[in-house]
Amino acid sequence: MLGKLKNKIVKGDEKPDKVTTVKVCVVADEECPDGGYGWIICLAAAIIQFIILGIHNNFGILYTYFMNDLHAEPSDTAWVGSIAFGMNFLCGPITSGLCQKYGCRLVAAVGGLIAVLGLLLTSFTNSLYVIYLTYSVLWGFGSSLNYAPTMLVLSQYFKKHLPLANGIVTAGSGIGTLAMGPFYHVILSNLGWKMMLRILCGLGFLVFLSALLYRPLPAKYKRAQKTETPTGSKFFDLSVWKMKPFIVWVISMSLLFIGYFVPFIHLPNHARNLGVDGYQSSLLIGYLSIASTVSRVLFGLVLNHPRINRFYVLQFCFLMMSVTCTLCPLAQDYTGLILYAVGFGAFDGCFVLLIAITTSDIVGAGRLPQALGGLYGVIAIPMIFGPPLAGFIFELSGSYQNAFFVAGGAIALGTCTLSLIPFFMTDTKVVTVEICEEPLEKEDTVQDKTATACSAGRQRNSFIYDTSNFAMRRSLSCLALGRLGDVCGSQCILEMLERESDV
């Protein structure tokens, strides 16, 4: 087929003096160690997520004790956990700016001390309104100063192994959720929630020690990072908000997070309303975290393959999380609730793994801190209001069925919005093309013309409906939308030439 293209191009122009050639200059990725001491940082980040998200995700167990001991309404008590988890993300832009200016180690270390102070002060109060301040705001802000650096520091040290490193770190939160569930139940049953919070202060100090293991990049890598991030000196960089794919990504995530945190707070209480005892209901979050942990590690390995398109995997996870939440009310016994927890956790693990990676795929690694901070700040708002909304629906109807229906519907809307992202990726340039005039020898004319036509066709396809940013390198993973570009590119030309030669 290339021979036919060659004959068509050369025909009528046998002896040209000059030929326009196309030189493709691929912009090199930013340099990073992609291992080495990065694995120590990966372990430290996993420990921090083990503690931080282990405490956040098991608030549903503490929720019932707050509601009973403080004689509070379900919706009022749900605000405690939702604000705390929301603060973890709402302060994302501030945390990202601080990390850019002072480094991840200092920010995370200070955050560990603030988190310990919040837990300690909460253990000395009996007022729900004071708990809003000490647990929701203070502990939530301290955990935010620790959570965001666990994602940001990995993008500095890893490129090729970034999915695996993210899988290991996010698996820490899954294991922490699993381990904290039985721990919560034992301590709460024997010592009460105040003593449990004081014990958690000791784990908070371990967060401080782990943050000290973060180390800045060596000089040569730091220079490469600064070279590719011209806006890094700004505390708040708003340039990412000019990118349409990123805006659609934020909207999709905001819709999803209306229903995402509902199971973590209300599933144990939902199980108790169905007649499940307290210990077994606390294990449901553990089952969810087991599935989430295994999913993060497995998907971290699978997504390293160059033919796997991470965006399509993310879409599938969004869809299945919506389906599982919608089907949860059909589970009327403990076995059904376990199946729901395992199903939701399996797809939640991959989703959590892909948050930072997908954001990097959309905006580029150089803008990841600003983009991730902005994303966390926006999604914190629906995250804060989602669980109290579910609690309010429970108060009105006396059942969690409608609450889970609403949660599943919100995630479904996020899934639909997510599918729009590739259509806004048309402005993303993955290569630069340089045109120059060079004199060529006669015998090289045909060969260079052929290469010129093929290169031009391929480059044109790179600018049209390109989803290759979501794969490790261009491969079969971008065929679904990439074929639309082929219709307008070299493939169409070759097929037309073949039909003409047959006639």
pLDDT of res. 32: 61
- Residue 133 — pLDDT band, cuts 50, 70, 90? very high
Residues 43-99 have pLDDT tens digits of 999 999 999 988 888 887 888 888 888 888 877 888 888 888 888 778 877 887 888
| Backbone phi and psi for residue 434, each to the nearest 5 degrees, phi listed first | -120, 125
Given a cut of 70, whether residue 30 has pLDDT beyond it is: no
pLDDT for 449: 42
pLDDT for res 31: 60
Q: What's the mean per-residue pLDDT of the chain?
A: 74
At residue 306 the predicted structure's pLDDT band, cuts being 50, 70 and 90, is confident
Asked if pLDDT for residue 155 goes beyond 80, the answer is: no
Structure confidence at residue 304 (pLDDT): 72
Give the confidence band of 234 by pLDDT, cuts at 50, 70, 90: low
**274 burial type by CB count under 10 A (0-12 exposed, 13-18 middle, 19+ buried):** middle
User: What gap in Å lies between CA 269 and CA 81, rounded to an integer?
Assistant: 14
Q: Which of 21-25, 26-30, 69-73, 428-432 has the highest mean pLDDT?
A: 69-73
pTM > 0.85: yes or no: no
Least confident of 80-89, 330-339, 364-373: 364-373
The angle subtended at Cα 355 by Cα 221 and Cα 59, nearest 5°, is 120
Structure-token pair, residue 413: 């809307």
Percent with pLDDT over 70 in the chain: 74
pLDDT digits (tens, 9 = 90+) for 386-442: 888 888 888 888 888 889 999 999 999 999 998 888 888 764 443 333 334 344 444
Q: Which of 248, 245, 242, 255 is nearest to 379 (CA)?
A: 255
* CB-count exposure of residue 327 (10 Å: 0-12, 13-18, 19+): middle
Weakest mean pLDDT among 14-23, 147-156, 184-193, 277-286: 14-23
- pLDDT score, position 323: 93
User: Dihedral sign, CA of 41, 47, 50, 53?
Assistant: negative
**Average pLDDT of the residues in 462-467:** 36
The three-point CA angle 157-160-163 to 5° equals 85
Query: Distance between the two ends of the chain, CA-based, in angstroms?
Result: 15
Contact criterion met (CB below 8 Å) for 282 and 434: no
pLDDT cut 90: percent of the chain above it: 18
